């Protein structure tokens, strides 16, 4: 049971470069999420998707782009990376958007450093 | 002001101690309350889930929600070194498509 996998796990990139973080889930969950985790802020929602081809902004979407052409994949792209985007990024998935007890599952995280 | 406030700690306790972790929130629309545990270099995993007010117990863990005070707590009895982790509270309103609002996380260390 592979679950939810993120790649790369660790990435160093330069300011201004485009970076794509990949997320793949094997459960066919409808909902997928991208969060970033920073000291003092906990996890903050960047983008989420209710189904293939349906995406919406979260709390901190600026500088990020997402797509969801297939249910199982939800890549996150930093079009022109900035130092403020140095963070740990977590992808998550959930069977339903109505949180009536269903669990949101998180990936292992992608550590991104922008120099 | 953040919607959810959590003391970041760090919190250090001896093995066997009772641990109390707390969060306050400002949005009265929150109805779903969760506690996640996150080990170093890992993703968060759901520990406890409570709907609306009340208590929920699972082994050594007890979650409490007081909606009138906008305050939630997680108690860990007989704490173990394996409980050393960061604990994150998270909340959601029923109409938010499963989106979670997290506290900052409390780093807990249980010393043998």
Of B44, B96, B98, nearest to A106 by CB-CB distance is: B44
Does B86 reach chain A within 8 Å, measured CB to CB?
no
pLDDT of A98: 62
Of B42, B43, B99, the CB nearest to A45: B99
Condensed to tens digits (0 to 9), the pLDDT of residues A27-73 reads 889 999 999 999 878 899 999 998 999 999 999 999 999 999 999 99
Interface of A with B (CB under 8 A): 31, 33, 35, 40-45, 48, 50, 56, 58, 90, 92, 94, 96-104, 106-109
Q: How many whole angstroms separate alpha carbon B65 and alpha carbon B56?
A: 9
Average pLDDT, chain A: 92
Counted residue by residue, chain B has a size of 112
B76 CB within 8 Å of a chain A CB: no
From chain B, pick out residues whose CB is under 8 angstroms from the CB of A35. 102
Question: What's the CA gap between A78 and A63, in Å, rounded?
Answer: 6
Closest CB to B105 among A31, A42, A58: A42
Per-residue pLDDT, A39: 84
pLDDT, greater one: A7 or B98: A7
Task: Please tell me the predicted confidence (pLDDT) of residue A101.
Answer: 57
Residue of B nearest to A34 (CA): B99
What's the pLDDT at B15? 97
Cβ(B105)–Cβ(B86) under 8 Å? Answer: yes
* Residues in chain B where the model's pLDDT stays below 70: 94-98
Predicted confidence at residue A96, as pLDDT, reads 74
Query: Residue A80: exposed, middle, or buried by beta-carbon count in 10 A (0-12, 13-18, 19+)?
Result: exposed
* Residue A82 · residue B21 · CB < 8 Å: no
pLDDT band at A97 (very low <50, low <70, confident <90, very high): low
Mark yes or no for CB contact A104/B51 under 8 Å. Answer: no
Q: Are A111 and A88 in contact (CB under 8 A)?
A: yes
Percent of chain A clearing pLDDT 90 (strictly above): 78
Name the residue with tokens 């985007």: A85
For residue A100, pLDDT beyond 70: no
Contact A4/A23 with Cβ under 8 angstroms?
Answer: yes
> Residue B100: which of A98, A104, A109 has the nearest Cβ?
A104
List all residues of chain B from 4 to 43 with a beta carbon under 8 Å from chain A: 4, 6, 8, 32, 41-43
């Amino acid at each position: 049971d592979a679950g939810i996998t993120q790649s790369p796990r660790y990435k160093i990139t330069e300011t201004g470069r485009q970076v794509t973080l990949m997320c793949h889930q094997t459960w066919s969950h409808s909902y997928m999420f991208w969060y970033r985790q920073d000291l003092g802020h906990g996890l903050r929602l960047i983008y989420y998707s209710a189904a293939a081809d349906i995406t919406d902004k979260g709390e901190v979407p600026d500088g990020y782009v997402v797509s969801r052409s297939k249910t199982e994949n939800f890549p996150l792209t930093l079009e022109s990376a900035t130092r403020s985007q140095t963070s740990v990024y977590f992808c998550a998935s959930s069977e339903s958007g109505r949180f009536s007890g269903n669990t949101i599952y998180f990936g292992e995280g992608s550590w991104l450093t922008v120099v | 002001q953040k919607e959810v406030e959590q003391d970041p700690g760090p919190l250090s306790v001896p093995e066997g101690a009772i641990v109390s972790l707390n969060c306050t929130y400002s949005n009265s629309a929150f109805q779903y309350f969760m506690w996640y545990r996150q080990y170093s270099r890992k993703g968060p995993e759901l520990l406890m889930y409570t709907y609306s007010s009340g208590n929920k117990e699972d082994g050594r863990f007890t979650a409490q929600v007081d909606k009138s005070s906008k305050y939630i707590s997680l108690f860990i009895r007989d704490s173990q070194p394996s409980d050393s982790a960061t604990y994150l509270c998270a909340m959601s309103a029923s109409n938010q498509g499963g989106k979670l609002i997290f506290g900052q996380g409390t780093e807990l260390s249980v010393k043998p």
